[in-house]
């Protein structure tokens, strides 16, 4: 037997993550259910389980009968990319620098309308604290097969260690024998764009003349058409849910899978998406457990997107890092916070395309308090993408024509009040601002205090403007240039026994926040999924080539390779 150490760069063993994942792996051996996320885009709870029967939703109705309906679930932002950054990290987007929509790529619609729109807006990635991982990485380290089909939109490039596969073809069916899975399927047929005139027309389940209109909309043909399309898209989405549930049943996995259905924020219509009201932030959430656990129940706990990742880890028997903003509401580690987050959901509205908003809001499930830090804007800020909906021009026109009804005051306003307060139970469309109501002053003061505590605790990066300052001082100091993650160090020990060669391989990176992924090959040609590195591992002598990628979220990844056994 002989031993030959090989060092390719500075050695700093990556102990924190490895120890955490080892502990997680031990925990998950006790309870390893499959976990299926059914995520749909741009949809408020306008479905049967929440009392809206405008179109039939038999599959969601069945899911609700066999599962738990959460009445107070909220996105952290009323637009997809910031909200999804919270879903994948368990962190508030205002804490990790992902609050500005499309911080890494300009909106093509905005640029087409104004080529100079992004002249002073830099491209960058969010930067979570070093302890933060995209939560599926922890699941993979514990033995789960993790797939995403296929939207990401995290406001940063995710490490290669996050998914076994992320593509339109990714599916839990491709896992190993007996391997538990975490699978995400995303439905885009309810997205805002599906109401554009050029979008595919789904079968008409409800006619425009028969749809209920929110009271803040004028009753016009364009408005009715947009609302009818929204409902018809929901009806088709329900069929998609049915197909995903049928797949589980045919595979005999219903009794071993937790199904979680939700949308990525509120309805994709004006004054829904991009707006800090229930219509923008309140989402449907239904959780179906195996064996009919808690079937048919409703849960009033206030749940936020920051909680979804920790809850999924908890279902898999993995204790989430207590430093995360989110709290697990499912699984063996379910708990409640003792601070300002308990019983409250927070959300932010910042830059949409190239136009800046800056609103902060908190809801306790019934009452909503909002602080508008920019008051000299209409509620519907100008947005080139949304303007592809014909109804948008009619809503803009209300600013000059004035409201046709009292409920349209927000859409007709050219300025906003500094503070707003709504009772969403008595006033579900949130059109009656009770900020000066004497009977609510104590409650308003309490919610104001909660909101201020959230802003202070998160160090709200939405207030670091211009964004060039954010990038230079917070994200990529001091020059605003994206740093590269340091290269991996690969250390090996070569052993020969029984006529064969094996390699004991250790990987490390001097960047504390770096994920480490690796691939092996018999030839210098790598393909297939990257593996998550957690601890030293043994490699057969036939696999002489190793490729390693290190990646701190927000930094550039670095890929290195080695020929094992080289003297």
The whole-number mean pLDDT for each consecutive block of 10 residues of the chain, a chain of 567 residues, reads 33 37 40 94 98 98 98 98 98 98 91 92 97 98 97 97 97 96 98 96 97 98 98 98 98 97 98 98 98 94 98 98 98 96 98 95 98 96 95 96 97 97 98 98 98 98 97 97 97 84 94 96 84 95 91 97 78
Contact indicator for 309, 135 with CB cutoff of 8 Å: yes
Based on the fold, state whether residues 204 and 151 are members of the same structural domain. yes
* Number of compact structural domains in the chain: 2
Residue 500 belongs to a domain: yes
**Shared domain check, 336 and 205:** yes
Residues serving a catalytic function are 80
Same domain membership, residue 295 and residue 221: yes
Q: Which of 311, 301, 289, 307 is nearest to 366 (CA)?
A: 301
In a domain, 445, yes or no: no
Same domain for 174 and 288: yes
Instruction: Measure the CA–CA gap between 227 and 214, rounded to whole angstroms.
Output: 9
Verify that 2 and 35 share a domain, yes or no: no
Q: How far apart are CA 352 and CA 338, in angstroms?
A: 33
Last residue of a domain, one of 317, 340, 363: 340
Q: Residue 475 and residue 95: Cα distance in Å, rounded?
A: 11
**Domain finish residue from 309, 340, 371:** 340
**Domain of 496?**
1-27+485-567
Strand order in the sheet with 367-372: 345-352, 355-363, 367-372, 419-423
d(CA 173, CA 153): 24
| Same domain as 321, residue 245 | yes
Picking from 293, 323, 340, the residue at the C-terminal end of a domain is 340
277: domain CATH number? 3.40.720.10
Within-domain flag for 148: yes
- 186 and 262 inside one domain: yes
Residue 146 and residue 164 share a domain: yes
Q: Do 490 and 539 share a domain, yes or no?
A: yes
- Domain annotation covers residue 369: no
Q: What pLDDT, on a 0 to 100 scale, did the predictor assign at position 566?
A: 63
Question: Does residue 153 lie within any of the structural domains?
Answer: yes
Q: Do residue 19 and residue 57 come from a single domain?
A: no
Quote the pLDDT of residue 13: 33
Task: State whether 209 and 243 are in the same domain.
Answer: yes
This prediction has a pTM of: 0.93
């Amino acid at each position: 037997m002989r031993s030959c150490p090989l060092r390719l760069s500075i050695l700093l063993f990556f102990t924190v993550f490895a120890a955490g994942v080892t502990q997680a792996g031990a925990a998950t051996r006790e309870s390893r259910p499959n976990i299926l996320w059914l995520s749909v885009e741009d949809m408020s709870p306008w479905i049967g389980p929440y009392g809206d029967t405008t179109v039939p939703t038999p599959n969601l109705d069945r899911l609700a009968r066999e599962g738990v309906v959460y009445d107070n679930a909220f996105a952290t932002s009323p637009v997809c990319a910031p909200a999804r950054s919270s879903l994948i990290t368990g962190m508030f987007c205002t804490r990790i620098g992902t609050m500005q929509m499309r911080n890494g790529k300009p909106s093509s619609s905005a640029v087409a309308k104004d080529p100079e729109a992004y002249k002073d807006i830099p491209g960058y990635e969010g930067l979570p604290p070093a302890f933060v991982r995209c939560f599926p990485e922890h699941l993979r380290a514990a033995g789960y097969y993790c797939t995403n089909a296929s939207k990401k939109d995290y406001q940063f490039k995710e490490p290669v260690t996050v998914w076994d596969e992320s593509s339109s073809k990714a599916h839990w069916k491709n896992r190993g024998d007996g391997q538990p899975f975490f699978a995400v399927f995303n439905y885009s047929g309810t997205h805002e764009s599906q109401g554009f005139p050029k979008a595919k027309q789904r079968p008409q389940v409800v006619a425009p003349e028969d749809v209920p209109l929110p009271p803040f909309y004028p009753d016009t043909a364009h408005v009715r058409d947009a609302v009818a399309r929204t409902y018809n898209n929901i009806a088709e989405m329900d069929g998609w849910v049915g197909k995903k549930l049928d797949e589980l049943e045919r595979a005999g996995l219903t009794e071993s899978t937790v199904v979680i259905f939700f949308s990525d924020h509120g309805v994709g219509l004006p004054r829904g998406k991009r707006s800090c009201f229930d219509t923008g932030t309140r989402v449907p959430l239904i959780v179906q457990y195996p064996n009919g656990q808690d079937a048919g129940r409703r849960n009033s706990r206030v749940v936020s997107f920051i909680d979804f990742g920790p809850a999924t880890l908890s279902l898999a028997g993995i204790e989430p890092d207590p430093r995360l903003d989110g709290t697990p509401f499912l699984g063996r580690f379910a708990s409640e916070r003792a601070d300002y987050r308990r019983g409250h959901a927070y959300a932010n509205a910042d830059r949409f395309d190239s136009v800046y908003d800056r609103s902060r809001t908190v809801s306790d499930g019934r009452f909503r308090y909002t602080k508008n830090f920019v008051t000299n804007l209409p509620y519907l800020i100008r947005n080139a993408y949304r303007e592809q909906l014909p109804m948008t021009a009619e809503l803009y026109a209300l600013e000059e024509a004035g409201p046709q009804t009292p409920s349209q005051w927000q859409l007709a306003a050219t300025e906003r009040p500094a503070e707003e307060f709504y009772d969403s139970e008595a006033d579900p469309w949130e059109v009656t601002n009770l900020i000066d109501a004497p009977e609510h002053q104590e409650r308003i003061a309490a919610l104001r205090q909660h909101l201020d505590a959230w802003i202070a605790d998160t160090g709200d990066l939405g207030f670091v403007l211009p964004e060039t300052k954010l990038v230079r001082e917070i994200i990529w100091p001091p020059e605003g240039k994206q740093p590269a993650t340091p290269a991996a160090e690969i250390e090996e020990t070569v052993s020969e026994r029984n006529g064969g060669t094996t390699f004991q391989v250790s990987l490390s990176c001097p960047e504390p926040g770096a994920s480490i992924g690796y691939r092996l090959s018999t030839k210098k040609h790598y393909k297939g999924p990257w593996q998550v590195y957690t601890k030293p591992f043994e490699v057969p002598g036939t696999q002489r080539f190793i490729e390693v990628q290190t990646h701190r979220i927000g930094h550039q990844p670095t890929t290195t390779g080695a020929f094992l056994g080289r003297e």
